[in-house]
Structure 1
Amino acid sequence: MFCCVFWILLVSVFKERIGIMTGVTMAARNLSRTAHRLLTSRSISLSSRKYSSVWTADNVVKSPHRDIEIPNRLVTEHIWEAVERWPDKTALVCATTNRSYTFHDLYKYSRNFAAKLRTQIKIRDGDTVCLMMSNYPEYAIALLGALEAGAEVTTANPIYTPYEVERQIKQAEPKVLVGVPETVPVLKEALRLTKKDIPIIVLRNPDGALPDNTISFQEWFLAENVDHSVLKDVSRTPEDVALLPYSSGTTGLPKGVELTNRNLVANFVQQDVDTMRVHQETTKTHQDVTLGLLPFYHSYGLSVILLHKLSAGLKNVTLSKFQPNTFIDTMKNHKINLLCAAPPLVLFLGSHPGVTADHLTSLKTITCGAAPLPRTDVTRILDKVKHEMDFLQLYGLTEVGPLATCMPPGSKDYSKAGCGISNTELRIVDQDQRVLGPNQLGELHIRGPQVMKGYRNNPEATKAVITEDGWFKTGDLGSLDENGAVTISDRLKELIKVKGYQVPPAELENVLKEHPDVLDAAVLGIPDSRLGEVPKAFVVLKDGVKVEANEVTSFVSERVAEYKRIRDVVFLDALPKNPSGKLLKRVLREQYC
């Protein structure tokens, strides 16, 4: 299955934002027939000479792109250095209100916010700041300001429930929360649940009152005569953690992914290599325009769309939510050149009658990931476009910074996820960790400077996915062709993919077991024609109690985001388990799915 970091909620049409699908533990000897079918059906290979001779004698695939030197600098240093080349160009603009900020504004306001964090909140090096905001231009000011203050940044989904935010607050231990009026009630309830008293900074609506007991974000970053000298006390290194997004990894509950400044800067520079760059270079007379629609709280939107495109000098047009008419008008009115998409958005562009060639006139490149994409969905868009345009598949995971592979510009192969980007090695292994050759099916491993430092406060989970010699085990089932191009074939892990967004069964099982009448529970993903998969629960009740299915689903719905909600409940006397007590989900699937 195709996987990318990274993601969108298509409100009204798709309801859920797209998130990253990360991989699965697999057993090459027990591959599904579906996986083998997928492998054999995807036989198209790249023909360009530059993709030959990438295989080593030990079956490791090197990147066909030139190696790059990774700058020894912080994320903010990397972006601010570039700002000097285009200070007066627009960095961010809101698609609905047209409020905008130049690169010079971004630099000034981020440093204002950083100084206020140091003086008013007493943020110190290595403290954590939590952002729970939608895609507004000010997201970049909060993010870069927190980094400039020496903090690490953890990002929360703005549609999370208090229970989900409570868990992240307990794990990430932020010193301050930054939100918008819509998220303040959730943040306050999460703090009540955690019994913590943490300041809340709010980007208030221009015509709205500031919520009680919160701090105005605008008053801080727009302040005059701010003393920036306090920022001289910040002492951070490229090896220090910059971002702490949360991912379920290959399975289980969400874990904090530690991405260092070096991880992120490496991934930025990898995307700028001329043989794979998907944007035109910014000059005095030219600036590409991208759309910030995939959510900034997740690694793809955060790193690839927001931070990297700022470092490259692109204009980022932000959309806080998907609305069909607003989206297609934005594509036309703002002359979007680069669209980073996920399959539901591609499906919408190709099938919606309101999307015409006029809306796509400026579009030069679409990149897509997060789930399998039928060729027909690609051709529907290409048929609407009256000019030459690139449609490129890519692949990545939160744990690898997030980008790992991408098809090169000019490619017409829509079935593969591309070759490894610069300084990136790939290999395929079987269940005995034997490294396989071309077109053999196994688990994809990745090694490169963008691989995370590890999972926060979870050395066992880190050791389970990163080998001693630096290979990250994706858990995704795939193959590498003779030219080193990746095909992601199947997903054998337990993560449920609802419209491309990953839902860990363990999380829902824990919520179910919190119900006072539930003794035991299991959750599986079952196929759904509209959403891809949906969670289905198998519940064992305590002796002597009777509960209706809707009571169970309502209990869960109050505690999780909408896309995680359970759609069906089956009551059983007992769950099938082996002699050691391990749940046999295979039996549940065979009998009830």
Structure 2
Amino acid sequence: MSVSQFSLQSLIGTEGAEPAFVFDGRPVSRAEFSGKVEQTAAWLTAQGIGQGDVVAAWLVNRVEWIALLFAAARRGAIVAAVNTRYRSAEVGHLLKVSGAKLMVVEAAFRSIDFAAILAEISRDEVPALQRLAVVGGDAIAAHWPCVRFDAFETSYPPAPSAQDDVDLPVLLYTTSGTTKGPKLVAHSQRTLATHAASVAKALKLSPQRHSLLAMLPFCGTFGMTSLLGFIAAGATIHVLDAFEAASALKVLGEHKITHAFGSDEMFRRILALADTPRPFPHLEVCGFAAFQPGWRELAAEAEARGTPLFGLYGSSEVQALFSIARPDDAFADRIEGGGRPMSPDAKVRVRDTETGELAAQGVSGEIEISAPSRFLGYFNNPDATRDAITADGFFRTGDIGRLRGDGAFVYETRAGDAMRLGGFLVAPGEIEDELKACTGVADAQVVAVDLKGQARCVAFVIPAEEPPQQEMLVARLRERLAGYKVPARIYIVDAFPVTDSANGVKIQRARLRAMAMERIAAE
């Protein structure tokens, strides 16, 4: 296979006028999209963006987002994906760690005040950032000079041909893991394109028969990987700018969509709005990630209504849709997280966390993965990269699971303290550090609990001399963090439960979770 076949551009092609995408009812053909990529590459050149430069993309799902990624690949530049649910602390951290020179940002979208969030970030925090490029407006109120993202409106001189190096970073995802601030997961054109081709082949996608409802955000690997897989297959992709159950329901029905990927909560909301016994007769595969309690019951309901849910596995480091269950799996096996790798070249093994030896079939341990979809490393963080990869090249996932014996594996739970909130992996340290920066807080601990069927976090705070007011803490966190990271409850305590061990005093997080549930039940 030639190097050019590992590029993002190789996924597109330009033949024919058939739709590659449909945005809010407007079709964009593959040839038209290729033209937009050329225009965006020319625009990036005019902005002084070239080899190795980082551009932050703070956008909802729109054609500009995808064109920006493909154009950056042509220029040898790197796109840092910014979650639209992020707030000032998270955006500032990403800009600082990535060293982004340019941020492409929405002028406005629904209730998100991008300007107000950026106003909370000082220029001193992110010295590399030179300007903002605004989509949908000429400027926003900010500390940085603004230009209009007018790549599709203004004719810029064609970008000079760049020498493709498909193994350089081209896309950065954020992931929290168990560290206090998000790390940046670097992928190359090769890792993205080869995995996209593997997804298209493993799912046996046909341009004529299959279509995707893209309802996941492009800023995360779940949304981006499913998007790239269907681009590689030549299938049509119907895009939601942001998820709404009513919009998803409409597109699924009107356009006879065959594939959709999302969280269990997304499918729960869609089915709740569907008023017929079998609302989606054309759906073949609904790949889902189980983030909320009650997902088994949801899968059974969906099955009864002709909506087949398939368990998946993935991460930013090995990409989403790394593996999927098979249609001929028994229902109980099909809905479990895990499945069989999309790529025939992927290898999965399990290491016994007690002995450090490789575990036998059926024995739970830490999942380790070697695959063409594996990330290059954590951007500008060689220590974290070294810790995450074994001497023989396997990624230590931090997830617990077991081998099933038929080529499949089962994901069981997340190791360590990381929490899954709002469909995203969140480190408690992120929230704890923000709390400890608040007036009146001496120390803080955060744990995840099941609250009315939703995974939420609860904080325990040891006060300083002047105890903090809960309302003020919540208001401060809402300014600084995404809404799903704001604790549902904040409790004041004199001390945290601890236990002595050979390695020192450890906080009993399991006891904190039990305390949280006891207090909530007593309310």
Fold-level similarity (TM above 0.5): yes
On the 8 A contact 1:73/1:261 being kept in 2, the answer is: no
Matched, 1:223 2:150: no
Deviation at 1:469, TM superposition (A): 0.5
Q: 1:270 aligns with which of 198, 214, 221?
A: 198
Matched, 1:506 2:429: yes
Q: Structure 2 vs 1, CA of residues 390 and 518 (structure 1 numbering), >3 Å: closer, same or farther? A: closer
Deviation at 1:355, TM superposition (A): 5.6
In the aligned structure 2, how far is the partner of 1:209 from the partner of 1:71?
39
Deviation at 1:376, TM superposition (A): 3.4
In the aligned structure 2, how far is the partner of 1:384 from the partner of 1:145?
42
Q: Structure 2 vs 1, CA of residues 245 and 306 (structure 1 numbering), >3 Å: closer, same or farther? A: same
On the 8 A contact 1:287/1:315 being kept in 2, the answer is: no
Q: Structure 2 vs 1, CA of residues 403 and 360 (structure 1 numbering), >3 Å: closer, same or farther? A: closer
Matched, 1:429 2:358: no
The one-letter code sitting in structure 2 at the alignment partner of 1:253 is G
Q: Structure 2 vs 1, CA of residues 209 and 253 (structure 1 numbering), >3 Å: closer, same or farther? A: closer
Deviations 1:178-229 (A, max 9, x none): 121125403454354636452222221xxx7754653232x322334x432x
On the 8 A contact 1:129/1:174 being kept in 2, the answer is: yes
Look up the match of 1:241: 169
Deviation at 1:499, TM superposition (A): 4.0
Look up the match of 2:398: 475
On the 8 A contact 2:177/2:418 being kept in 1, the answer is: no
Alignment of 1:142-541 (within 5 A): 142-182=68-108, 184-185=114-115, 186-187=117-118, 189-190=120-121, 192=123, 194=125, 196=127, 198-204=130-136, 211=140, 214-217=146-149, 219-224=150-155, 226-228=156-158, 230-232=159-161, 234-273=162-201, 276-279=202-205, 281-282=206-207, 286=208, 288-302=210-224, 304-354=225-275, 357=278, 359-371=279-291, 374-385=295-306, 390-413=308-331, 414-416=334-336, 417-421=338-342, 422-431=344-353, 432-531=355-454, 533-541=455-463
In the aligned structure 2, how far is the partner of 1:146 from the partner of 1:370?
33
Look up the match of 1:41: none
Q: Structure 2 vs 1, CA of residues 306 and 222 (structure 1 numbering), >3 Å: closer, same or farther? A: farther
The one-letter code sitting in structure 2 at the alignment partner of 1:451 is R
In the aligned structure 1, how far is the partner of 2:140 from the partner of 2:262?
34
On the 8 A contact 1:166/1:193 being kept in 2, the answer is: no
Q: Structure 2 vs 1, CA of residues 446 and 347 (structure 1 numbering), >3 Å: closer, same or farther? A: same
In the aligned structure 2, how far is the partner of 1:193 from the partner of 1:329?
46
How many residue pairs end up in the alignment?
499
In the aligned structure 1, how far is the partner of 2:179 from the partner of 2:204?
32
Where 2:151 maps in the other structure, the secondary structure is: helix
Look up the match of 2:476: 555
On the 8 A contact 1:350/1:380 being kept in 2, the answer is: no
Look up the match of 2:520: none
Matched, 1:101 2:28: yes
Matched, 1:585 2:509: yes
Structure 1's unaligned 5+ residue stretches are 1-68
Deviations 1:408-448 (A, max 9, x none): 34444324321223111111111232111111111111111
In the aligned structure 1, how far is the partner of 2:228 from the partner of 2:160?
21
In the aligned structure 2, how far is the partner of 1:465 from the partner of 1:70?
30
Deviations 1:455-480 (A, max 9, x none): 11222222222101011111111111
Q: Structure 2 vs 1, CA of residues 455 and 210 (structure 1 numbering), >3 Å: closer, same or farther? A: closer
Deviation at 1:587, TM superposition (A): 4.3
Q: Structure 2 vs 1, CA of residues 108 and 287 (structure 1 numbering), >3 Å: closer, same or farther? A: farther
Q: Structure 2 vs 1, CA of residues 278 and 560 (structure 1 numbering), >3 Å: closer, same or farther? A: farther
On the 8 A contact 1:394/1:405 being kept in 2, the answer is: yes
**For structure 1, which segment, 409-418 or 316-325, has the greater mean C-alpha deviation from structure 2 after superposition?**
409-418
In the aligned structure 2, how far is the partner of 1:484 from the partner of 1:517?
54
Where 1:245 maps in the other structure, the secondary structure is: strand
Deviations 1:311-365 (A, max 9, x none): 22121111122333322112122221211121012222443343653x5133222
In the aligned structure 1, how far is the partner of 2:487 from the partner of 2:385?
29
Look up the match of 1:575: 496
Deviation at 1:547, TM superposition (A): 2.0
Where 1:423 maps in the other structure, the secondary structure is: coil
Q: If each structure's strand is expressed as a fraction of its own residues, which one has the higher value? A: 2
Where 1:360 maps in the other structure, the secondary structure is: coil
In the aligned structure 2, how far is the partner of 1:195 from the partner of 1:404?
34
Deviation at 1:152, TM superposition (A): 0.7
On the 8 A contact 1:336/1:363 being kept in 2, the answer is: yes
Look up the match of 1:134: 60
In the aligned structure 2, how far is the partner of 1:129 from the partner of 1:73?
24
Deviation at 1:263, TM superposition (A): 1.4
Deviation at 1:166, TM superposition (A): 0.8
In the aligned structure 2, how far is the partner of 1:126 from the partner of 1:494?
34
Q: Structure 2 vs 1, CA of residues 463 and 540 (structure 1 numbering), >3 Å: closer, same or farther? A: same
On the 8 A contact 1:93/1:137 being kept in 2, the answer is: no
Deviation at 1:305, TM superposition (A): 2.2
Deviation at 1:582, TM superposition (A): 4.5
Q: Structure 2 vs 1, CA of residues 391 and 548 (structure 1 numbering), >3 Å: closer, same or farther? A: closer
In the aligned structure 2, how far is the partner of 1:141 from the partner of 1:528?
40
Q: Structure 2 vs 1, CA of residues 187 and 106 (structure 1 numbering), >3 Å: closer, same or farther? A: farther
Give TM-score scaled by structure 1 length: 0.78
Q: Structure 2 vs 1, CA of residues 355 and 242 (structure 1 numbering), >3 Å: closer, same or farther? A: farther
The one-letter code sitting in structure 2 at the alignment partner of 1:238 is V
Matched, 1:121 2:43: no
Deviation at 1:103, TM superposition (A): 0.8
Alignment of 1:43-82 (within 5 A): 73-80=5-12
The one-letter code sitting in structure 2 at the alignment partner of 1:277 is L
The one-letter code sitting in structure 2 at the alignment partner of 1:149 is R
Deviations 1:8-54 (A, max 9, x none): xxxxxxxxxxxxxxxxxxxxxxxxxxxxxxxxxxxxxxxxxxxxxxx
Deviation at 1:125, TM superposition (A): 0.5
Percent of residue pairs identical = 24
Q: Structure 2 vs 1, CA of residues 252 and 557 (structure 1 numbering), >3 Å: closer, same or farther? A: same
Q: Structure 2 vs 1, CA of residues 391 and 582 (structure 1 numbering), >3 Å: closer, same or farther? A: closer
On the 8 A contact 2:200/2:232 being kept in 1, the answer is: no
Q: CA RMSD in A?
A: 2.5
Give TM-score scaled by structure 2 length: 0.88
Deviations 1:519-560 (A, max 9, x none): 2111111222231x2111111222x31222222222222210
